[in-house]
Amino acid sequence: MDIKTSVISGRALNTPWLRPHPHVAILEVYVRPSSSLNEICGEHGGRLKIKIKSPPEDGKANLELVSFLALILKIPKNKMTLIKGESSRQKCLLVELSVYEIELMIKANLF
């Protein structure tokens, strides 16, 4: 089962990159900065792989990652917090949505 077919009956299935936390979800991502476009492009090492246009300088890629994910998830940027990996390609974000809602939005953007 891949991430495109993992939403069944309101629960996350086979998504190691997404886990519930009280009233929020934790989203683990692998970021490839300095890409030609912003896109979700699958999984990498148990994390959701996301390409970001901005270079990894002065936090630009982190800001663009949060802006891009907020657009995909249809939430304000202040509903998402980078909690780990500020200077790493492997990042953890706290997202104020349910695992189910996040998975639906991610799935919709993979097609």
Q: What's the CA angle centered on 52, arms 19 and 14, to 5 degrees?
A: 25
- Confidence band (pLDDT; 50, 70, 90) for 6? very low
H helix intervals, the chain: 60-73, 99-108
Q: How many CB atoms lie within 10 A of CB 99?
A: 21
Lowest mean pLDDT among 10-19, 51-60, 71-80, 90-99: 10-19
Could you tell me what percent of the chain has a pLDDT over 90?
A: 78
**Whole-angstrom Cα distance, residue 17 to residue 4?**
13
Predicted confidence at residue 54, as pLDDT, reads: 96
